[in-house]
A and B are shown apart, each in its own frame.
Chain A
């Protein structure tokens, strides 16, 4: 097998793994007190003892609730093939109660999203949970929601009939993340892959995982949103940026994936500005820092003049040219008018404000191709 085709095959394998939620959830569900085990135990004990139960799965979006549920249900369907029938309802789709009842009749299954609780009187939930209080029914109701206070949204009658079992899905810890990365990226060393390549790949992977810079990239990414879904998206971009000619994953792939995900559109807009426009932006920032609550083009020009006087810059342009740049900035929405009346006053007299934050402006200046040093100095004072 040629080297390129090996690399292609590895890429395909990694991509397939990242798109399969069951694969991702597996290493996190192995420990005995994981949510997967608890859920499976509760459902299977309800089945074996033929008693009714209700559970609530709560956790932020993308933390793997449905994935764990599917995993548990698949295992249980294999263990008890003929004794379970499954119903799925979705609060977004079946928001009308009649529709939901019809859907139940169609599927004869037992799972629902708690968006139902937004409707008045919550009849469906009440009838479901009330039916479970009779001796003849045998059902397990599993609710999935991303709101923490979902049981406060339920009516008190329904809350009383609900069995208060909650499984909280928390984001994975740092060790779990490391384990997950290893699990996803290690190539199998069996016969499906050429042994040398796989061994080399895994060796480089181990070095990469132990690298501190790598850990920093991952933790800075997870500082924003630490759900598994978010992480998987990042890993997918990493694999897509992995060029075939390099052959192995490297730190650069992760860095470029990070910068492509954490884009700052306004900063990039600033990079496209002309020097005069940058001057105008910096002058506006200085005015704001001086706590001038409302200023217009004339005040900006005054500031621009004073800057020119104190620093003797070479970039001093005429009034008309500046006005033209000013209007271009407004069109690009880097600044905007603060009053809502469009008519009456001309552009020079209407109050304006900045739409980019100081940090973004600073970042934009730093990454500008040939930014005059004076601007950076002006930003700091």
Chain B
């Protein structure tokens, strides 16, 4: 196949430029007019030169049929570009041409390409442009701008589910602030960002703030760091024009203690008359400010709340496409990406999960290719004299292999990520343990919530009698219940007398019925 041969020409050189390139740069397209459809590919400078040569070769591959796919390319581009221009505010407009006929398909056997791809989709890779969070970033940025311009203190609370881009957006806003302060000639604020989980002692946060504010002042032994800061902020500054301090506290709920003292003191720092800090707290709970800082409301300095909502399907799709745009090949079928976005948006809206699912889909494709390669090689070894009919069949089979991650791979990856192992485990339990579960289902059908082991044993013996299987003794019954308890299927209480231990089912009775419905024996049991 020509595409494989061409891609092998320069595997590693492809990787490096991708990382350092800024996507907002659009260098004038040079050699692209030679492409048949006259489409502007997003160019990445020197990168394009090498791959275009190989891509020109690829144009001859028999994939032209994709041009007439029902997803008509021309319309999609216009829709995409208009959508992008609406949404972006401070980011210069770009054209996203991302349908998969425009770019050559990737070679999954090339290790360099695989690493580049996995790198692009890894959770730890911060994209250079953060899309879909422009509004929230703007609000935070405006707030900080106002605080710096008016030299007033303020507090802000950022909340949202895990995986919605809070910490990432904060990093971008910080960078943006630095650039803006330089531009306007204002004093750049001191940045202090910390993760509250890494504090050994929660009042350590104040020593950290102290350290930023007064790096050279020695801490007096008698007063705590908190008192120092409070003193500082209550007095008029001698040296006017000292910098504001921007404090970003990630995972703020680790500071919550029973008396809520530390959290309260932290937010109260902004209420002092000469306070110079801008406090931004990040956590998951929406109502943290209301629940834990009620006194601030009365003083009229409740923190402003910026809510990062969970990503919708369109947003997830857009973010994924954005990440994949940096690569010069098509890797995913667009419907596979859409399936992933739909499923993840419906479940949690967590971007990390979407990225993980995409990576796992790639690995499934890799596994498939490896298996088919080993099958082909083993079958090639078997037929030493290639039969005239089978030889072209083998070639044909090779060509039909999908190199693109398709919907089937994505579906398998999604089911792996979302399916709980319960049904599989129940189906593979030994027979007597399954019978114990049947007995439990029947017992709890009457509406009772929990029982003791002795009662379940009686129910189990009844089930065994009805099915003509000799029941096991009490000792083995107890040890089987213990095994089921270890696995998290049953829950056993504690009691001195073993037969009086309380027991209840931790999984849904419907799961058990579903798992065992394939076996007629258990279907009859559960009737």
Count B-side interface residues using an 8 Å CB cutoff.
60
Contacts A49-B119, A51-B118 known; list 4 others, CB within 8 Å.
Answer: A41-B363, A127-B197, A148-B489, A224-B472
Nearest A residue to B424, CB-CB: A168
Q: How far is the CB of B474 from chain A (nearest CB, A)?
A: 6
Per-residue CB proximity of B313-333 to A under 8 Å, as 1/0?
A: 000000000000000000000
Among the stretches B22-30, B51-59, B204-212, B475-483, the one at the interface with A is B475-483
Judged by a CB distance under 8 angstroms, whether B127 is at the interface is: no
> Is B198 a contact of A127 with CB atoms below 8 Å?
yes
- CB contact between B115 and one of A49, A123, A130, A132 (< 8 Å): that residue: A49
> Is B163 a contact of A160 with CB atoms below 8 Å?
yes
Q: How far is the CB of B440 from chain A (nearest CB, A)?
A: 16
Complex CA distance for A160 and B474, rounded to whole angstroms: 42
Judged by a CB distance under 8 angstroms, whether A164 is at the interface is: yes
Q: How far is the CB of A270 from chain B (nearest CB, A)?
A: 12
> Is B430 a contact of A223 with CB atoms below 8 Å?
yes
Per-residue CB proximity of A27-69 to B under 8 Å, as 1/0?
A: 0000010000000011001001111100000101100000000
Complex CA distance for A225 and B433, rounded to whole angstroms: 8
> Is B483 a contact of A45 with CB atoms below 8 Å?
no
Q: In the complex, which residues of chain B have a beta carbon less than 8 angstroms from the beta carbon of A359?
A: 461, 470-471, 473
Q: In the complex, which residues of chain A have a beta carbon less than 8 angstroms from the beta carbon of B115?
A: 48-51
Given A61-B483, A121-B254, A148-B420, decide whether A226 and B430 contact each other with a Cβ distance below 8 A.
Answer: yes
Q: In the complex, which residues of chain A have a beta carbon less than 8 angstroms from the beta carbon of B450?
A: none
> Is B416 a contact of A166 with CB atoms below 8 Å?
yes
Among the stretches B63-71, B349-357, B513-521, the one at the interface with A is B349-357
Judged by a CB distance under 8 angstroms, whether A178 is at the interface is: no
Judged by a CB distance under 8 angstroms, whether A81 is at the interface is: no
Judged by a CB distance under 8 angstroms, whether B371 is at the interface is: yes
Q: In the complex, which residues of chain B have a beta carbon less than 8 angstroms from the beta carbon of A360?
A: 473-474
> Is A164 a contact of B124 with CB atoms below 8 Å?
no
Complex CA distance for A365 and B306, rounded to whole angstroms: 76
Complex CA distance for A150 and B417, rounded to whole angstroms: 14
Complex CA distance for A112 and B115, rounded to whole angstroms: 27
- CB contact between A148 and one of B356, B374, B421 (< 8 Å): that residue: B421
Given A49-B114, A61-B483, A61-B486, decide whether A160 and B353 contact each other with a Cβ distance below 8 A.
Answer: yes
Q: In the complex, which residues of chain B have a beta carbon less than 8 angstroms from the beta carbon of A45?
A: 363
> Is B424 a contact of A164 with CB atoms below 8 Å?
no
Nearest A residue to B418, CB-CB: A164
Q: How far is the CB of A223 from chain B (nearest CB, A)?
A: 4
Given A170-B425, A359-B473, decide whether A147 and B118 contact each other with a Cβ distance below 8 A.
Answer: no
Judged by a CB distance under 8 angstroms, whether B294 is at the interface is: no
Judged by a CB distance under 8 angstroms, whether A149 is at the interface is: yes
Judged by a CB distance under 8 angstroms, whether A265 is at the interface is: yes
Q: In the complex, which residues of chain A have a beta carbon less than 8 angstroms from the beta carbon of B461?
A: 357, 359
Nearest B residue to A124, CB-CB: B197
Q: In the complex, which residues of chain B have a beta carbon less than 8 angstroms from the beta carbon of A171?
A: 428-430
Given A49-B118, A225-B430, decide whether A123 and B197 contact each other with a Cβ distance below 8 A.
Answer: yes
CB within 8 Å of B: which A259-315 residues: 262, 264-267
Question: Considering the complex of A and B, which 8 residue pairs feature the smallest CB-CB distances, nearest first?
Answer: A160-B162, A147-B488, A226-B430, A170-B428, A49-B115, A223-B431, A133-B124, A149-B488
Complex CA distance for A41 and B357, rounded to whole angstroms: 17
- CB contact between B480 and one of A51, A52, A225, A266 (< 8 Å): that residue: A225
Given A224-B430, A265-B475, decide whether A133 and B374 contact each other with a Cβ distance below 8 A.
Answer: no
Q: How far is the CB of A131 from chain B (nearest CB, A)?
A: 10
Complex CA distance for A135 and B254, rounded to whole angstroms: 25
A-B contact pairs, 8 of them (CB 8 A): A51-B122, A60-B486, A61-B486, A132-B124, A147-B487, A170-B425, A171-B428, A357-B474
Residues of A in contact with B, size category? 35 or more
Judged by a CB distance under 8 angstroms, whether A88 is at the interface is: no
Judged by a CB distance under 8 angstroms, whether B251 is at the interface is: yes
Q: How far is the CB of B120 from chain A (nearest CB, A)?
A: 11
Nearest B residue to A358, CB-CB: B461
Q: In the complex, which residues of chain B have a beta carbon less than 8 angstroms from the beta carbon of A127?
A: 197-198
Judged by a CB distance under 8 angstroms, whether A381 is at the interface is: no
Judged by a CB distance under 8 angstroms, whether B284 is at the interface is: yes
Complex CA distance for A225 and B163, rounded to whole angstroms: 41
Q: How far is the CB of A142 from chain B (nearest CB, A)?
A: 16
Nearest A residue to B162, CB-CB: A160
> Is B356 a contact of A163 with CB atoms below 8 Å?
yes
Q: In the complex, which residues of chain A have a beta carbon less than 8 angstroms from the beta carbon of B44?
A: none
Judged by a CB distance under 8 angstroms, whether A165 is at the interface is: yes
- CB contact between A160 and one of B122, B350, B371, B473 (< 8 Å): that residue: B350
Complex CA distance for A150 and B486, rounded to whole angstroms: 11
Given A60-B483, A160-B352, A170-B424, decide whether A133 and B123 contact each other with a Cβ distance below 8 A.
Answer: yes
Judged by a CB distance under 8 angstroms, whether A222 is at the interface is: yes
CB within 8 Å of B: which A146-195 residues: 146-150, 156-157, 159-161, 163-166, 168, 170-171
Nearest B residue to A159, CB-CB: B162
- CB contact between B374 and one of A32, A42, A58, A135 (< 8 Å): that residue: A32
> Is B353 a contact of A262 with CB atoms below 8 Å?
no
Q: In the complex, which residues of chain B have a beta carbon less than 8 angstroms from the beta carbon of A133?
A: 123-124
Judged by a CB distance under 8 angstroms, whether A126 is at the interface is: yes
Judged by a CB distance under 8 angstroms, whether B111 is at the interface is: yes
Judged by a CB distance under 8 angstroms, whether A134 is at the interface is: yes
Complex CA distance for A163 and B413, rounded to whole angstroms: 12
> Is B360 a contact of A165 with CB atoms below 8 Å?
yes
Q: How far is the CB of B167 from chain A (nearest CB, A)?
A: 9
Complex CA distance for A135 and B461, rounded to whole angstroms: 58
CB within 8 Å of A: which B347-384 residues: 350, 352-353, 356-357, 359-360, 363, 367, 371, 374
Judged by a CB distance under 8 angstroms, whether B125 is at the interface is: yes
Complex CA distance for A274 and B110, rounded to whole angstroms: 80
Complex CA distance for A171 and B489, rounded to whole angstroms: 16
Complex CA distance for A329 and B488, rounded to whole angstroms: 38
Nearest A residue to B471, CB-CB: A359
> Is A148 a contact of B119 with CB atoms below 8 Å?
no
> Is A222 a contact of B421 with CB atoms below 8 Å?
no
Judged by a CB distance under 8 angstroms, whether B109 is at the interface is: no
Per-residue CB proximity of B443-482 to A under 8 Å, as 1/0?
A: 0000000000000010001000000001111111001100
Q: How far is the CB of A11 from chain B (nearest CB, A)?
A: 29
Q: How far is the CB of B311 from chain A (nearest CB, A)?
A: 12
CB within 8 Å of A: which B89-127 residues: 111, 114-115, 118-119, 122-126
Given A126-B197, A133-B124, A225-B480, decide whether A161 and B352 contact each other with a Cβ distance below 8 A.
Answer: yes
Q: How far is the CB of B124 from chain A (nearest CB, A)?
A: 4
Nearest A residue to B126, CB-CB: A135
Q: How far is the CB of B371 from chain A (nearest CB, A)?
A: 7
> Is A146 a contact of B421 with CB atoms below 8 Å?
no
Q: In the complex, which residues of chain A have a beta carbon less than 8 angstroms from the beta carbon of B430?
A: 171, 222-226
Given A157-B284, A161-B352, decide whether A223 and B432 contact each other with a Cβ distance below 8 A.
Answer: yes
Nearest A residue to B352, CB-CB: A160
Q: How far is the CB of A104 from chain B (nearest CB, A)?
A: 14
- CB contact between B506 and one of A149, A150, A223, A266 (< 8 Å): that residue: A149
Q: In the complex, which residues of chain B have a beta carbon less than 8 angstroms from the beta carbon of A224?
A: 430, 432-433, 472, 476, 480
Judged by a CB distance under 8 angstroms, whether B422 is at the interface is: yes
Per-residue CB proximity of B406-425 to A under 8 Å, as 1/0?
A: 00000000001100111011
